[in-house]
Structure formats: C-alpha cells, structure tokens
Amino acid sequence: MILKSVRNTLAAAALAFATLPCLAAEPIYFNQPESAALFASAELKDDYWSLAHYFVSERYLTYCGIASSVMTLNSLGVKSPVAPLLYPYQIFTEENIFTEDALKIKPVSTIEREGLTLPELSQLLALYASEVQHTFAADSSVEEFRQVALATLQDPNKRLIINYLRTAVEQVGGGHISPIAAYDEASDRFLMLDVARYKYPPSWITASDMFNSMLPHDSDGESRGYVVVSK
C-alpha cells in the first residue's frame, strides 16, 4: 500500500514537472562577443542593413509600435511625406506618420498612454504599405512562425515585426514591439532590433522563446503576434 502511494506521488510529481513551462534562454545581446559570431554565421541578414540605416529609438515609452513602423516603412523605401524639420527631404518620422487617417485608428494621446495592439499596428502600416498581414500567436505555432519569418527575411520587399512580452525572454518590462533583422540557423536565433535603444541593445533570441513571448494576451484580450509588411 505504501509502495503504491509512493509510486503515485512520484508519477504525479513527474507529470507536474513535465507540464512546467521551459525557462527561456538568455538573449545574446549585440554588444556581447557571442553576437559577432552569430552575425558572421547568419545566413539571412540582408534586412539588417536596410533596417539599421533607419534604426530609431522610440520617442516615448509607449511608442515602440510607432518607431518600428517608421523603421520598417523607411527601410522598404515606401513613399513618405516631407519631414517639416528636414525639408525638402522625405522620410517617415515619429511625428509625420500621424496623418488624419492614422489618427482615426488611435489618437496620439491614447497611444502615449497605451501604445498599440497588434491589429492597430497592422492598421497603421496598411495606410502606407501595399500589403500588411498580422497573425496572432495563439492561431499559429513556432514552426509556422519560423517558416513565415524565414520567407520574409529572404524577400527584400518584406519586413517582419513582432509584438511580444519582455519577461518571457528574460527581459525587464511589459509588452513591446520591434522589427526582426536576421536569422542564424545553427543557433535557431533571430536578431531583434529593439527600438527601446536606451534600455536594451539588439538581441538574438531563439525561435521558440520568441514565439512563446508572443502568446501572452495584450490589453485587447487577444494574444500578441507578428506582422509581415510588404512594400
């Protein structure tokens, strides 16, 4: 009887352990020696050069979606309005991206408090890009995400942006949005260009950790996810 009880206890403990979520691997940051090796061996990194050229930091703590949109649209060469402070040059900024139609999606005052959800980010980008498709992580899988991400990184006319939860990838903070710039197959890590440049440098995150970080729900009750933007 005692032996049976012990066996049942051990079985229950094993089941509980098996269902525990796997701890995320520590991100490898761009200023660490390991990052140089990852970047050198990365097969897909063409998007890095175009995105890095327009790499900006979010103007406010809640402007990650705005900064990511500006970087993405500029890197794709999408026709932009004139930037008043840089006249006569045309470039998307965190100010002139707010056209009348953009303000109808979400007012600036509300974005400054709440930021953007995945659908709102998609709607904003769709005002300028020819095609925008967002996917909730809850409706996807790590395999599908990896496949979509790799296809996007191989297409010079497409970019990938993720909406994720920082704590799920061993970072401090809440929800965040940033573009993806490269992929290293050997380590199965993606390079994310963090638009909170005052807080974190770009980081290499495993595909599984990146996907899992998109599963938690956002303020709209939906899971987070990713956006593919086409020129």
Task: Give the confidence band of 147 by pLDDT, cuts at 50, 70, 90.
Answer: very high
Task: List the domains of the chain with CATH numbers.
Answer: 25-230 (3.90.70.30)
Q: How far apart are CA 73 and CA 118, in angstroms?
A: 17
Q: What is the pLDDT of residues 21-30, one digit of tens each?
A: 467 899 999 9
* Cβ pair 66, 97 in contact under 8 A: yes
Of 77, 66, 49, residue with least CA distance to 157: 77
Q: What is the pLDDT of residues 78-104, one digit of tens each?
A: 999 899 899 999 999 999 999 999 999
* 142 CB-near residues (< 8 Å, 6+ apart): 207, 208, 211, 212
Using CA atoms, how far residue 103 sits from 60, 122, 219, in Å, is 17, 14, 19
Whole-model pTM: value is 0.89
